Amino acid sequence: MAVCDPRPPFAALTEDLLCAPLPTPCYVIDEGALRRNGEILAGVARRTGCKILLAQKAFSNFNLYSVLAPYLDGTEASGLYEARLGAEEIPGKEVHVFCAAYRQADFDALLRYAGHIVFNSPRQLQKFGPAAKAAGKSVGLRINPERSTQDGHAIYDPCAPGSRLGTTRAQWDAQMTPELIAMLDGLHFHTLCEQDSDALEITLAAVDRTFGDLLPRMQWLNCGGGHHITRPGYDIPRLERCIRTARDRWGVQVYLEPGEACALNAGFLMTRVLAVLQNGETAVAILDMSAACHTPDVLEMPYRPPLYGAGEPGEKAHTYRLGGPTCLAGDVLGDYSFDMPLHEGDLLVFGDMAIYTTCKNNTFNGMPLPPIYAQRSNGSLECLRAFDYSDFKGRLGGR
């Protein structure tokens, strides 16, 4: 194992953590890293007057919301359960919700938790907007500026042709009546994914072209998530110029709702080698964790997660294909190289595992859910949640 790297995503990884008698696989979330992210986000808000929300779809570990709460203005939700979680776990702060389509059965309950409700289409605004306004909520509509900035990740591009997300200007002109427009307090867009502020600058120019004449009538503009604000090298000055320009040009309160930026580089997934085998020229190491179950974005994004002490294939002396123990042939994390050969029982540590992991993992193949630990500021470890057979069986039926 290499000497601890002081740079993200392993800055919070200590020798004590590497030697801790933790069960594997397990997640470890570092509260110091969360706090550092919060400080960066709060600085942006303080200097620009924008408001920043936690997008819970990326990070829902509510036991640690108290670490982030002092730096944020509230939470963003994708439906009833996330809205309730944000309201309960960060009380007294704003709760915003957007859903592509609301269920009537959920909407009345949703009104108890969310203060800002964003609709995806004029029809949804027509159907649910009057109830939201009658309940005193701030009402918004998601817009589609039809300007893609994605590169190679079509699954994350809401501006792709035929997108189901957001209202285009043509749809607005055809369907938005004066009565519907009068219900609106703000507009919302979300077009970015792990991108720098140059992509936001491009998007805001497109928003100006397509909806700029409407924005002076609004009280707020929500610029969504996907802003990698806490990533080393992110252009924060450009972000702040974008925020100020939008605020001054249209006279709106600007919101950002990052998810990844709140918990970026704030977690680890500890795993051990179960078996090593050779298939032709490919050396394979099977781990006690699963890409499909424990890091689903590895397959869905797809992406290659950072691994402590490892290099690119062929960079170091020994290259292995790392995979999980499930029956899925594609349960593979990627190819990594190491200074020394791998052996059964070796500990491996994946970085940046606080986001899109614990909130997305699953029990496919009967795989157990890994326990979740918090690494406190004093270095101590606290188990936030452990799982067992009942968690697998219970979600599939009663008895």
Return the structure tokens found at 75: 């939470």
> Does residue 152 register a pLDDT over 80?
no
| pLDDT, tens digit (0-9, with 9 covering 90-100), for 124-143 | 999 999 999 999 999 999 99
pLDDT confidence band for 5 (50 / 70 / 90): low
> Of 63, 69, 64, 87, which Cα lies nearest the Cα of 77?
87
| pLDDT, tens digit (0-9, with 9 covering 90-100), for 29-80 | 999 999 999 999 999 999 999 999 999 999 999 999 999 999 999 999 999 9
- State whether CATH 3.30.160.40 applies to domain 49-263: no
Spans of all domains in the chain: 15-29+266-394, 49-263
Q: Which residue has the tokens 């298939």?
A: 279
Report the alpha-carbon distance of residue 253 to residue 247 in Å, rounded. 6
Round the CA-based radius of gyration of the chain to a whole number and report it.
22
Report the alpha-carbon distance of residue 233 to residue 16 in Å, rounded. 29
Report the alpha-carbon distance of residue 399 to residue 396 in Å, rounded. 10
Report the alpha-carbon distance of residue 146 to residue 156 in Å, rounded. 14
Q: What per-residue confidence (pLDDT) applies to 4?
A: 59
Proportion of the chain above pLDDT 90, given as a percent: 93
Return the structure tokens found at 103: 């269920």
| pLDDT, tens digit (0-9, with 9 covering 90-100), for 334-382 | 999 999 999 999 999 999 999 999 999 999 999 999 999 999 999 999 9
Its CATH architecture, for the domain 15-29+266-394, is Beta Barrel (2.40)
> Of 229, 119, 233, which Cα lies nearest the Cα of 172?
119
| pLDDT, tens digit (0-9, with 9 covering 90-100), for 103-115 | 999 999 999 999 9
Indicate the SS3 state at residue 236: helix
Indicate the SS3 state at residue 199: helix
Q: Which residue has the tokens 């580089």?
A: 265
Nearest-5° Cα angle at 20, 334 to 59? 55
List the beta bridge partners of residue 93: none
For 182, the enclosing helix (H) or strand (E) is helix 178-183
Report the alpha-carbon distance of residue 38 to residue 46 in Å, rounded. 12
Indicate the SS3 state at residue 151: coil
| Per-chain mean pLDDT for the chain | 96
